[in-house]
Each structure stands twice: as structure tokens, then as C-alpha cells.
A and B are shown apart, each in its own frame.
Chain A
């Protein structure tokens, strides 16, 4: 199993630059979360990875070689715009996709049974897809991406429209595939899920990657403010004490009267602040307030005022 490399992809649609020199990599056995506002270029990038669109420049490599048609048969793809034959039976349809990816009829039949059972639609194998609920159609769509035992998974918004049970099944499957050494890349707007599931995250904005790394790495970029909470003193008293500490700026914590954020400008100023407050109140919390992925994402996007509105 090997790394999926996205190297310098550019793509324009007329005057719109959908991708500008987009580069990142997904290592074997890694779940990579692909995050960005609507129109940032996630779907375009995924379509190029799968050869559905051609890039103006750049290359997608897998195992050091270009991801060509032959190699793409090893990829499991779930497009953003779901697509199944509405009048075809679930089993027939999955069998067709499995065979199209190069499985024999026997292997395909076995895989169809395994994945439909696993994803909880085993009892609907003989039904036409259009008769299934949207949630179950979504499960069949995922089965279509998994049925040929892909060695790379590219999933565009796999969690949208799923109920919590299906989300759990899906997360479990992704973890399991990654544990088997498959590079997994998925895009999502459900940032809590991305945070929980992904080994690494890439934030894309206006067609280029603005941040990649593990969640702790991303959090470490930029200094997180310290959160200080206390008991047994008026806020005004605490603030007055803090005002006397140099190298520090104090801001409110939204919705809390018993806490403040300390942005540290001088090394060690937070320790002086702690000592100052300990003299007048009982400190209940004192820790760096790490931003959530959503905060990071907002920060990244709000650096670009033209996009802030879109993500809101």
C-alpha cells in the first residue's frame, strides 16, 4: 500500500480558477479529511483524482506512478452527486460496478453480499434502488464505492444525509480500511466528524491548500489564548489584578462571567497572571484554549473576506 500524491493541480473553467497549484498527499493507512467552503475546489480536485475531469496542469500519483485508468480501477469513489441506476436492483447494480472494476462474477457476488449485509441493506438486495429510502440509497452508494475492495478510497461528502447509526457504521468502515493500509480521503462539512475521524486534515480555500497537518499540528499554528476561570471573586476584582500583569491582553469568553481569555505577548506572562489571580480567588480552570477545527476553518476562511460569507 502506498501514498496518494496530489501534485500541483490547476484547473480553470473559463475565467474561474477552480484549482491553483493544489498539492498534498495522503499516506497509506491514513484518513485524510478534506475541508473547505462550498466552491473551494474539493469536488473538482476529487473528480480530477478519478479522471472524470482532466487537469490543466499537475499530476495525481499513486505508488509513485501516475494514477491512470488501470490504477483507477483500484480506487473506490463516491461522487458528491450520488448516482445509481434508479430502476436497477441493488444486487444487480453492485454486481455490475464490481465487475466493471475487474472482479469475476463469483467474486463480485460474494462481495455484494458481504457489503450489503455490512451496511445494513442486505434485506433490500432484490429491490430497485428507487424504492429505497434516501438513507438506504446512500448506503448502497457507499457499497458501490467499497464493493471491489479498493486500495484507495476517495469519498466526496460520504456522511451527508446519513442517520447517526449509519454514520457510525461508515466511520467504522473507514477506520477499518485505513487500518488495512488503504489511503482514505474524504470531504465533509461536518467538522466534528472530521476532527474525530481523521489522522490529518487539509483545508482548501479558493483552489489551493491553505493548511495541512494533524489536528494538534493545526491547533499549534498560531498561539492559542489561555483560558482562566475562577471561583469566589468578582470579575472586576480579577480583571483589576490581571491589568497589573505586563505582556498580557485580556478578553471576554463568550457566555461566561467567571472566565477570561489571556492572549500572551511576553513569554511567561500567563504564569504571572496565574500567580496574581491565585492571591484573590480560587482558580478552577487554567489551560491553553485550543481551537476546534471549526474555529481553525473559520480563521482560515475569514482571512479571505470574499469567502467568509460563503462559509457562514
Chain B
């Protein structure tokens, strides 16, 4: 025998899960994700492996070779130098199919080199050649003065600059954690918009079909509501898991974003905890409030204010938290149970949390849930047998059941 909450939860889960339309739409979405993944793999070009810059060098200026090869090559993977005579170099420059491509041919004198291009001069190549010419000329001059060019070079290599700031630098935002918190907070929003309306519709469906009277003769309204939220929540999470799993599988399997790394540590665990707490808080509100109406077409009148109540903390955590991470307003709001599930993960990501803030907010939100269970069950119990137009909230809280 299962407890009544689990029996209700199981029904909610199964009746949504085991329908043709649900299985088809899930399959279509998973298919679409895989198709997008494959399309992405095909359409987004792999990052081009940086190749070394290939330069031809007139044997007359072969002295430049070591300085050219030592030059910092920007995006290219170093510089390779090859001695070529003029005829061979010009032929290769003119040949569009030469591989690896010859960028330019350097001739003239060490202190005044000439660079021959196929057509348009490349600024990077010019800079490399110029730097090599300066280095070679400097080395020559040092040697002429009786110095040791190698000693000069190593002395130059040892030059280092240390940075100091009068104003403290801003706290660094951990980009990985920020991405995780943005994803989780957005998922929370979307999961609540989806599941919230599902919960509201489920409550009203039971009211409209009057099945609720049989249910309430057997189980407590709180149990019915809890089972409903659990079942629909599990279904919502299942969808996220299937779609998210498909997306992760596609990304990992096909290597669409090879550099993406997510830290699965304590911060991730905390964001998951916040997701569940936030879901609990808002799902209870959706369930309790939906009992106030009796017809599917009236659902909007209770879900619209709740949707609004979801968007406010969502936008606040996106705009207020990064702009004023340490303001009193941010600190106060993020302790309020309806804001905390959105703001705390964001604040943790921004890194502006003091040690006591997160535990306090977790405690406050966790304590709110039993209170909300009580209020929602009370509203639910009193409103659920009420038929006709929308019942006023104050009426449901005060009136006889």
C-alpha cells in the first residue's frame, strides 16, 4: 500500500505521461534536438587549426631567419622560414594552389628588407619582418660595439612589469557559475510557468468534474494538493531531464561546444536545492489559488497575477543583482522567500554573498513552505467545493468550509 500522497502523485504523473500526445510530442522534441545538434555540427565549421606562417627568404638575408622564427606570430602557430631564390618564390607566390601557402618572400638588405607579396601586403607579416630587421640590426650594432648580442637578448627577455591598483578591483564573476545560475533560474521560471498552469488546470479539472468530493472524503486536502504538486513536478522534471539529457548527450556526443565545462560541485548542488525550494513555494501558490475558480476559462484570473509574481523576482535577479551586488535592497530582497530562489543562485554566482546570507535564506524559504502548505490547503479546502464564479481569496481564508 502506498501513502495517499504518493498514490495521487503517481496518478498525476502517469495520466500525463502515458498519453499518445505526450509520448509523440516528447519524441518529436528529442528528435528535433538531435537534428539541431547534427545540423549544428555540419553547419558550424570546426575551429581552424592555426597553421604556421610560411615565409620565403632570400639567401642574401639569411641572417634574418632566426629573428623571424623568434617573432611572436599573433594568431598563427609560429613562423616557418624557408630559403628560396627569387624565381622559385615568385612562381610559388603567383600559384594560388600552393600548399602550405607562401605568405611572402623577404629580400633586400638586413636593415632594409623588401617584402614581396602575391597582391595585397599583409600588415602582420610586415610587422614580423620589421621586428626581425630591427632585432638583426640591433644585434649587429651590439656586436660591432664589442658586446654580446645573446646576453642582450636574454636580458631583454627578463624584463617584467608588475601591476598595482589604488582602487580595489571588482569581484571577479565566475563565468561558469554565472552560466549555471542563469540556466537554473531560467529553467525554474519556465518549469514554473509550465507546471504552474498544469497544476492550476489539474485542480480546476477535479473541481469541474466534481471528482474532488470523492477524493476529499478519503484524504486531506493538503495531501491531495501535495500529491498533485509532487506528481506534476516530477513530470516537469522528467521532461526537463529527457530534453536536457538529449541536449547534453548531443552536445557531448557530437562535440558541438568542445570547450564547455560545468562545475558539478557544491554550487551546482545549491542551485538544484534552490530550484526545488522555488518550485515548492510557487507550485503551492498555483495549486491553492486555482481552487478559487470553478471553470477552465477562469484560470487566467488566478494564474496571471502569479505569473507576474514570477517575472518580478526573475528580472530583479537579472538586472538588480549584477548592477548593485552589495546594496541593502539586494540583500533584503534576497531574503524574501519569493525572491530568494531566483536571487540567491545569481548572487552566489556574482560572488557577493556573505557567509550567513545563504543559510538564512535557505532556512526562511524552507520554513515558508509548511506555512504555504497550510494556507493553500485552507484556501483549497474552503474553495474547492465552491462552484460558480470566482471566489474571493479573503472569503476562502475566512469563510466556513
Contacts and interface: CB of A to CB of B under 8 A. Distances in A.
Tell me the interface secondary structure of chain A in the complex.
loop
B1 A102 contact: yes
Interface residues of B, number: 25
A210 interface: no
Interface string A30-59: 000000000000000001001111101000
Contacts of B217: 50-52, 72, 75, 77, 79
Contacts of B4: 100
Residue among A88, A100, A104 facing the most chain B CB atoms (10 A cut-off): A100
Contacts of A51: 216-217
A150 B72 CA distance: 88
B218 A73 contact: yes
A115 interface: no
B299 interface: no
Given A72-B218, A75-B217, A85 B15 contact: yes
A100 B210 contact: no
B184 interface: no
Residue among B2, B212, B213, B219 facing the most chain A CB atoms (10 A cut-off): B213
A96 interface: yes
B392 interface: no
A254 interface: no
Contacts of A79: 210, 213-214, 217
Nearest to B212: A83
B295 to A, nearest CB: 15
Interface string B127-171: 000000000000000000000000000000000000000000000
B216 A83 contact: no
A162 B84 CA distance: 105
B15 A100 contact: no
A12 B399 CA distance: 11
A206 B52 CA distance: 100
Contacts of B263: none
A50 B15 CA distance: 27
A311 B305 CA distance: 46
B209 interface: yes
17 contacts: A12-B400, A51-B216, A52-B385, A54-B400, A72-B218, A79-B210, A81-B213, A83-B209, A83-B211, A83-B213, A83-B214, A85-B205, A96-B11, A97-B214, A97-B218, A99-B1, A99-B2
Given A81-B213, A99-B1, 10 more contacts: A53-B401, A83-B210, A83-B212, A83-B213, A85-B206, A87-B15, A97-B218, A99-B7, A100-B215, A102-B1
Interface of B: 1-2, 4, 7-8, 11, 14-15, 205-206, 209-220, 385, 400-401
In the A-B complex, the 3 residue pairs with the closest CB atoms? A83-B210, A83-B211, A50-B217
